[in-house]
Amino acid sequence: MSGDLWERCLPSLQSEFPAQQYNTWIRPLSADESQDSVVVLLAPNRFVRDWVNDKFLSRIRQVVSDVSGDISIDVRVDIAAISAGASQGRRMPPRPRPTSPPPVSAYVEPAQTEYEQAPPIPRKEVSTHSAPVAVIPAPQLELDVGVSEPGRTIDVNVEGGLRHQSNLNRAFTFESFVQGKSNQLALAAAQQVADNPGGAYNPLFIYGGVGLGKTHLMHAVGMEMLRQNPNAHIVYLHSERFVADMVKALQLNAINDFKRYYRSVDALLIDDIQFFAGKERSQEEFFHTFNALLEGGQQMILTSDRYPKEINGVEERLKSRFGWGLTVAVEPPELETRAAIVMKKAAEAKIVLPDDAAFFLAQKIRSNVRELEGALKRVIANAHFTGNAITTPFIKESLKDLLALQDKQVSIDNIQRVVAEYYKIKISDLLSKRRSRSVARPRQVAMSISKELTNHSLPEIGNAFGGRDHTTVLHACRKIKELRESEPDIREDYQNLLRHLTA
């Protein structure tokens, strides 16, 4: 075999599956093409293998046979990854805590961030090693982790006078996290890690856009680990804090203390890892910390605003390590999830919020959950000052300026108008059942742009185009992506329209 068959199949698979699915399931596979007439696809763990076998194998077979005739496909777990997993799972004998305080404070305020069903992650599936987190002389919890006090962080006192701060935010728990299709897989993976830290999903890499719950999930794992084992030594920090601590340690000639400190944790949670970009010395230090923690069976959870391989300015060896465990995406939540989040946040604030008011807010604020939460807080504050009940008209009045701004942003209506004008057809044609090429193609373009420029979900877009099914929208997006690569005219039309709509 030529040895690059799998490489040649990847572009088709990439264009076929939504990015989240491709990145989570297909991209981590590597191929062993050393045998004749069989390609062995190596999955980083059993979880990925089983899911690929179940959901993607038949399509992969088709694509491979289109490219290279009759070749059989076998999906196996990468043995190297398994042994890494086994060594990760093997708890190390108790390691001494650093006896002197770390050179600098590790304190940081916590950051206030397709329609395939996510796989049911069997809880405890990989618990071949039973020891939980505590391997280090027990630190004492200063605060009772069982009591939820939103906004409060949890401090941990370690013996020997070392004050260690986990910085976990009590408000960010699994209970307060609302599950939806957009975060189902990430949530399931996080729960699995919390139940089985240092297991096969190490590191857990969570990526996705701003304000979508990555930090919340990360803290929820830490909180759950602490609930299961109050002696666990868990550190959450933003990557910029890691960099700042390292710089200070270098200045104070205390890099060994820094190393010992970060390597003595049971779980290290680092947020927004993309901030390591361009910081070579920090990357070098983190690389060694990463290896030490992985070898010691200590759990790492990392978040980023993009898929590991797409983080520019970060060394390849680090990027490839980020993908050794499990990489999961959080997507913008669909309308129902946004409404459920608003309801949950209102209930947490002990506010009565009628369903229609929650849906109104969720419909209007689509950009991300943080903004949604911010809008709700404004409404609550307003209601508090004026003594009014929160109703849809009250929300409209309270958020007048914000909603006016939202309306200026690109809407599906606007996209339909601009696309219809561009192709010299009527808006009603875009919404009609007509299938002639002169109407169907602009309709597909408009759907694809709606997916790209708005936060609407596929069903919402389908609905706005004459009540079509979400699979029609999905098909349109894939078709247009394909045509933009193969047909210069479509590429140019698409670019012109994007430019016009975002000017």
Quote the least distance from Cβ 233 to ligand ATP, whole Å: 22
Choosing from 341, 419, 449, 453, the residue that interacts with ligand ATP (CB under 6 A) is 341
By CB under 6 A, residue 338 contacts ligand ATP: no
CA dihedral 248, 254, 255, 256 (to 10 degrees): -150
Binding mask 288-317 for ligand ATP (x = CB under 6 A): -----------------x------------
Q: Which stretch binds ligand ATP (CB under 6 A): 139-147, 204-212, 317-325, 437-445?
A: 204-212
Looking at beta carbons only, is 197 or 211 nearer to ligand ATP?
211
Choosing from 370, 443, 456, 484, the residue that interacts with ligand ATP (CB under 6 A) is 370
Q: Are 176 and 344 in contact (CB under 8 A)?
A: yes
Closest CA to 363 of 450, 462, 460: 460
Q: What's the Cα-to-Cα distance from 343 to each of 141, 219, 319, 367, rounded to whole Å?
A: 32, 21, 38, 17
Quote the least distance from Cβ 213 to ligand ATP, whole Å: 3
Binding mask 254-293 for ligand ATP (x = CB under 6 A): ------------------x---------------------
Q: Which stretch binds ligand ATP (CB under 6 A): 5-13, 290-298, 369-377, 412-420?
A: 369-377
Query: From CA 36, how far away is CA 27, in angstroms rounded?
Result: 23
By CB under 6 A, residue 183 contacts ligand ATP: yes
Query: From CA 213, how far away is CA 220, in angstroms rounded?
Result: 10
Binding mask 99-128 for ligand ATP (x = CB under 6 A): ------------xxx---------------
State yes or no: 55 annotated in a binding site: no
By CB under 6 A, residue 371 contacts ligand ATP: no
* Strand 153-157, strand 163-169: pairing: antiparallel
**Helix (H), strand (E) at residue 486:** helix 470-486
Choosing from 155, 240, 373, 452, the residue that interacts with ligand ATP (CB under 6 A) is 373
Looking at beta carbons only, is 111 or 439 nearer to ligand ATP?
111
Q: Are 305 and 210 in contact (CB under 8 A)?
A: yes
Q: Which two tokens stand for residue 33?
A: 């093409």
The one-character DSSP state at 133 is S
Q: Are 148 and 170 in contact (CB under 8 A)?
A: yes
DSSP codes, 352-414: ---HHHHHHHHHH--S-HHHHHHHHHHHHHHHHHHT----HHHHHHHTHHHHHHHHHS--HHH
Choosing from 166, 173, 215, 444, the residue that interacts with ligand ATP (CB under 6 A) is 215
Quote the least distance from Cβ 377 to ligand ATP, whole Å: 10
Quote the least distance from Cβ 19 to ligand ATP, whole Å: 17
Q: What's the Cα-to-Cα distance from 209 to each of 18, 183, 371, 396, rounded to whole Å?
A: 16, 12, 13, 27
Looking at beta carbons only, is 379 or 476 nearer to ligand ATP?
379
161 burial level (CB within 10 Å; 0-12, 13-18, 19+) = exposed
Quote the least distance from Cβ 388 to ligand ATP, whole Å: 25
How many residues touch ligand ATP under the rule CB under 6 A: the total is 22
Please give the biggest Cα pair distance in the chain.
77
Quote the least distance from Cβ 283 to ligand ATP, whole Å: 20
By CB under 6 A, residue 213 contacts ligand ATP: yes
Q: Which long-range contacts (CB under 8 A, 24 or more apart) does 401-405 make?
A: 402/365, 402/375, 402/378, 403/364
Choosing from 86, 210, 244, 318, the residue that interacts with ligand ATP (CB under 6 A) is 210
Looking at beta carbons only, is 212 or 339 nearer to ligand ATP?
212
By CB under 6 A, residue 232 contacts ligand ATP: no
Q: What's the Cα-to-Cα distance from 256 to each of 26, 264, 281, 374, rounded to whole Å?
A: 40, 12, 15, 42
Phi, psi of 330 (to 5 degrees): -110, 130
Q: Are 264 and 97 in contact (CB under 8 A)?
A: yes
State yes or no: 199 annotated in a binding site: no
Binding residues for ATP: 211, 213-215
* Positions that interact with ligand ATP (CB under 6 A): 111-113, 172, 176-178, 183, 210-216, 272, 305, 341, 344, 369-370, 373
